Structure 1
Amino acid sequence: MNDSRIPDIESLPFPLLGEGPRSGTRPLFEGERLVLTADAGADMFRDPAGTQGTADAERLVAPVSGDFRLSAFVSPVFVSDFDSGVLIGYVDPDNWFKLCAELDPSGTTRVVSVVTRDGISDDCDSWAIDASGTYLRISRLGRAFALHASTDGERWNMVRYFALRDPAPETVKIGFAAQSPSGEGTTATFSNICFDTKTLTGVRDGS
């Protein structure tokens, strides 16, 4: 998917482009809010056991070089297991990461992160969140990346701190996705979207 008709978001200094399999419902832009719809089965996860087939989902992304911080309040409609709203960093089909507000099989809504290297994903469940959603942030610091979540968009708790591959990619496509791996589809709303090119100076101090 590559659709030049996608409107700009004023808080982003770049246009978003669609990649991956097109959803049956076009992205909806409501002022500074973005609403994405995931079709049934939409997912991005390469099972480390090697049992899962092709995994891909529509995503709205833009290529960014150098350090950055991208954050948003992510509010999915939680219906089925693993329904989620996602901030993503994408290099190629075998190397990418995602930070999600997700519903787990116990019925708990929580922060979930995945880092995929050389076509193999990991999967890390973090703390529970309110069903209304949470603030999520992805950042780059040189060759490293940091994932954070927040209840108020001010004080951030670290979820992951990692390097994606060696050598580090020069450019990463960053943006948004919605997923419904086991369900019939869902929507995710992204609001309070912020982006800057400031280098995050501390990954564990709440900044």
Structure 2
Amino acid sequence: MADVSKPRAKQPSSPAKTAYLVLYNFASAVAWSVVLGRAVSVCAVRGPQFVPFAVGEWTRWTQTMAGMEVLHSLLGVVRAPLLTTIMQVASRFILVWGIVYPFSHLAQSPFYTSMLVAWSITEVIRYSYFALTLSGFQPRFLTWLRYNTFFVLYPLGISSECALLWLATEPAGQRSELAKWVLYTVLLVYIPGSYTLYTYMMSQRRKVLRDLKAKDQRAS
């Protein structure tokens, strides 16, 4: 599922914790920038079928690094709902490790490239937003991007993910009938899961925009 529902990290009291979170978010923003740059450039020059050869492994390990966010939420390093975080991370782990890794030919589909574009743009914005916020900066344009681009990126990402899951049902069924039905179940879970994540992001957007409006009124 599109990873668009992470709330703002709570300002930690420890300078060491702040430094760690800034470094983590900065490194993640850079890593996803590489995914975006490679995916777009290779797709434009050679076509989507060549994208996985250029960025597939990098994407897999970049997304694996995001598993740290479950620990961050579990340990209270950031103020993020644990269940929401697990849903986000698990859905992407299923795609990179459970779908694209064993059925590598599916990555040559245009849906893989569109999924990477949606993921990487979302993550570059999100991680940059957190890194700058924790550093004491909060550019208004980045806040606007953070809480508005998901209107486009969310349906792009979710539809691409579902398409890959659907395409995987046939090769998975050739290996195991159970595997095929597991994928059907995952697709069904996407319906309430997507609604939960989307409505959560909408509530975060309303809260942030309300706070910005109040800040502008106080300033005037």
TM-score normalised by structure 2 residue count: 0.27
The structure with the largest strand share of the pair is 1
Larger Rg: 2
TM-score normalised by structure 1 residue count: 0.28
The structure with the largest helix share of the pair is 2
